[in-house]
């Protein structure tokens, strides 16, 4: 696949064959080499076949191979010109995302109560295989309708949380009736659980602030202990995507659409099937917002128990909660015209710039917080959206995998990885030690390089670098 250099951090795949637009890969150096090696670049070209796609099929610096869409893929289709919605452009883990909490504690405070904090988190955060969830007895239909607002009313979290959530923690247009019985059964025992794989809850410290004004507005300060949570819609979302993909193939044929990969199955946004997908997706998203909201509540209770205080005295205010697997209808200027597009972000994060009306007033002057977790044991970052973003207001979502799980397990054992992390001062509470090697730092790309490319490419600007102190994993 030919790549033409536009700049050190932007490479273009020229239109060819059935591509309706070019491909654009925001990457450079080693990140670009790896993207070419695992064929993720080929997938960028495949996405460019989607009907109604505008400007380019894009990929963020943490791009790697996915299903149909690459992980780190961004594609915007023009809604009123036959543009399509593709469940593969959202992913099975609908509304997977990241939540970040501030606190009143310093690293020294944490060191004094490290064992207690990790013990309390280990007790209160369900994770890994099998059932186990914080919330039971709540009407699931209400959660699917209203997301974080539903669990807030049930007594989880704080009122102030919602203004610091993307979509205020409620995806509009949710149609809970489109979520299948199977999805409901899977989700029934999972509200308030991390899951497994690359999902985690991590205690971190703000190691370095690059943008003091934005950091202060976000609620961050140098040396502050923070808590980052990465998870999504669990089995309910996975089943919803599976259910929608099943019908999407035949529906696509009825609309006369063909795509180079079955996982790129799609239908026009303005079609009964497209509207049903978006309604089901919004309902599953609401489960994810509620899930992270409940886990944050549990994290506050854990710190309170460890420090012998009340949750409301921990200072654990919400910095932000962002999704990185979602399709959203947004207005963007395309070729000089305000255009309604369906922006698919598959392993990519929304990154609205300063002044955007959807941002809370205290965030609006600085832009939207963008949360970029690194791999276990390495740094994570807080960025901010910037104006003039060339990718439909999108930025990276993480470090991106470098090697397969099988290959990662051949490098070291889970016990060795745990030992190395503990030696580096990072407490680890895994559900399964044996699987830790799959999530080891060496299995992921360099998150600092990902962030550097985001900055140089005008996708998002760095605000603060976070260093891990302890991790709870599935």
Partner 1 sequence: MPGTWRLFSHTADTGIEARGATLGEVAAAAVEGLVGSMFGHPPGTPTGASMEAAVPGGEPGEVLVELLAEVLFRFEVDDVVPFEPSVETDDEGAMHLHAVAVPSSGLEVVGPPVKAVTYHELSVEHRPDGWHARVIFDV
Q: Is 267 helix (H, G, I), strand (E, B) or coil?
A: strand
Name the minimum Å distance from CB 23 to partner 1. Answer: 19
Binder to partner 1 among 22, 28, 52, 68 (CB under 8 A)? 68
Rank residues 160 and 406 by Cβ distance to partner 1 and give the closer one.
Answer: 406
- Find out whether 191 and 142 touch, Cβ atoms under 8 Å: no
Active-site residue, selected from the candidate residues 238, 397, 415, 431: 397
Q: Which residues make Cβ contacts (< 8 Å) with residue 358, sequence separation at least 6?
A: 352
Binder to partner 1 among 71, 162, 371, 426 (CB under 8 A)? 71
Rank residues 300 and 409 by Cβ distance to partner 1 and give the closer one.
Answer: 409
Structure tokens at 115: 């064992």
Q: How far is CA 438 from CA 321, 404, 435, 441, 453, in A?
A: 26, 8, 6, 9, 25
Q: Is 397 one of the annotated active-site residues of the chain?
A: yes
Under the binding rule (CB under 8 A), the answer on residue 412 touching partner 1 is: no
Measure CA of the first residue to CA of the last residue in the chain; give whole Å: 37
Under the binding rule (CB under 8 A), the answer on residue 67 touching partner 1 is: yes
Rank residues 157 and 347 by Cβ distance to partner 1 and give the closer one.
Answer: 347
d(CA 356, CA 199): 30
Nearest one of 312, 314, 348, 344 to 329, comparing CA atoms: 344
Rank residues 238 and 328 by Cβ distance to partner 1 and give the closer one.
Answer: 238
Under the binding rule (CB under 8 A), the answer on residue 105 touching partner 1 is: no
Q: Is 138 helix (H, G, I), strand (E, B) or coil?
A: coil
Name the minimum Å distance from CB 92 to partner 1. Answer: 4
Under the binding rule (CB under 8 A), the answer on residue 398 touching partner 1 is: no
Rank residues 238 and 384 by Cβ distance to partner 1 and give the closer one.
Answer: 238
Gyration radius of the chain over CA positions: 21
d(CA 474, CA 470): 14
Under the binding rule (CB under 8 A), the answer on residue 245 touching partner 1 is: yes
Stretch 118-177 residues interacting with partner 1 (CB under 8 A)? 128-131
Residue with tokens 């309706």: 20
Binder to partner 1 among 84, 135, 194, 403 (CB under 8 A)? 403
d(CA 297, CA 306): 14
- Find out whether 235 and 93 touch, Cβ atoms under 8 Å: no
x/- string (CB under 8 A) for partner 1, residues 340-379? ----------------------------------------
Supply the residues annotated as catalytic.
Answer: 397
Binding site for partner 1 (CB under 8 A): 38, 40, 64-68, 71, 91-93, 128-131, 182, 185-186, 189, 195-197, 235, 238-239, 241-242, 245-246, 249, 261-263, 265, 401-407, 432, 434-435, 438, 474
């Amino acid at each position: 696949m030919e790549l033409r250099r536009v700049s050190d951090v932007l490479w273009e795949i020229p239109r060819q064959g059935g591509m309706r637009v070019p491909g654009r890969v925001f990457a450079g150096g080693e990140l670009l080499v790896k993207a070419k090696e695992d064929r993720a670049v080929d997938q960028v070209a495949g996405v460019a076949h989607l009907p109604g796609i505008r400007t380019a099929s894009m990929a963020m610096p943490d791009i790697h191979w996915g299903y149909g869409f690459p992980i780190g893929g961004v594609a915007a289709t023009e809604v009123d010109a036959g543009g399509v919605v593709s469940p593969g452009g959202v992913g099975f883990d609908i509304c997977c995302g990241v939540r970040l909490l501030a606190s009143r504690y310093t690293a020294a405070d944490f060191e004094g109560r490290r064992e207690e904090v990790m013990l309390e988190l280990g007790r209160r955060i369900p994770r890994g295989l099998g059932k186990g969830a914080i919330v039971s007895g709540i009407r699931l239909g209400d959660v699917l309708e209203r997301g974080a607002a539903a669990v807030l009313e049930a007594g989880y979290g704080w009122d102030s949380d919602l203004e610091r959530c993307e979509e205020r923690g409620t995806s509009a247009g949710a149609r809970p009736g489109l979520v299948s019985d199977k999805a409901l059964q899977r989700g029934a025992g999972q509200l308030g659980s991390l899951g497994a794989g690359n999902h985690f809850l991590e205690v971190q410290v703000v190691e370095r602030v690059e943008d003091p004004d934005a950091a202060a507005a976000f609620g961050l300060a140098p040396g502050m202990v923070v808590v980052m949570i990465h998870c999504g819609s669990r089995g309910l979302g996975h089943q919803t995507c599976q259910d929608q993909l099943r019908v999407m193939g035949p529906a696509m044929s009825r609309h006369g659409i063909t795509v180079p990969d079955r996982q790129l199955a799609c239908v026009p946004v303005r079609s009964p099937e497209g509207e049903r997908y978006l309604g089901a997706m919004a309902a599953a998203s609401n489960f994810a917002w509620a899930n992270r909201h409940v886990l944050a509540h549990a994290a506050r209770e854990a710190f309170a128990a460890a420090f012998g205080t009340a949750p409301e005295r921990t200072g654990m205010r919400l910095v932000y909660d962002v999704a990185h697997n979602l399709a959203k209808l947004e207005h963007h200027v395309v070729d000089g015209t305000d255009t309604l597009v369906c922006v698919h972000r598959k392993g990519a994060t929304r990154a609205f710039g300063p002044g955007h009306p959807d941002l809370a007033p205290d965030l609006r002057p600085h832009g939207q917080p963008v949360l970029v977790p690194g791999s276990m044991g390495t740094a994570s970052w807080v960025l901010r959206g910037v104006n003039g973003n060339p990718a439909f207001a999108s930025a990276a979502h993480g470090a991106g995998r470098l090697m397969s799980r099988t290959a990662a397990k051949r490098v070291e054992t889970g016990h060795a990885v745990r030992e190395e992390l503990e030696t580096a001062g990072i407490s680890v509470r895994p559900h399964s030690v044996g699987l830790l090697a799959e999530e080891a730092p060496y299995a992921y790309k360099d998150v600092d390089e990902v962030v550097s490319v985001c900055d140089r490419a005008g996708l998002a600007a760095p605000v603060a670098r976070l260093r891990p102190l302890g991790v709870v994993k599935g």
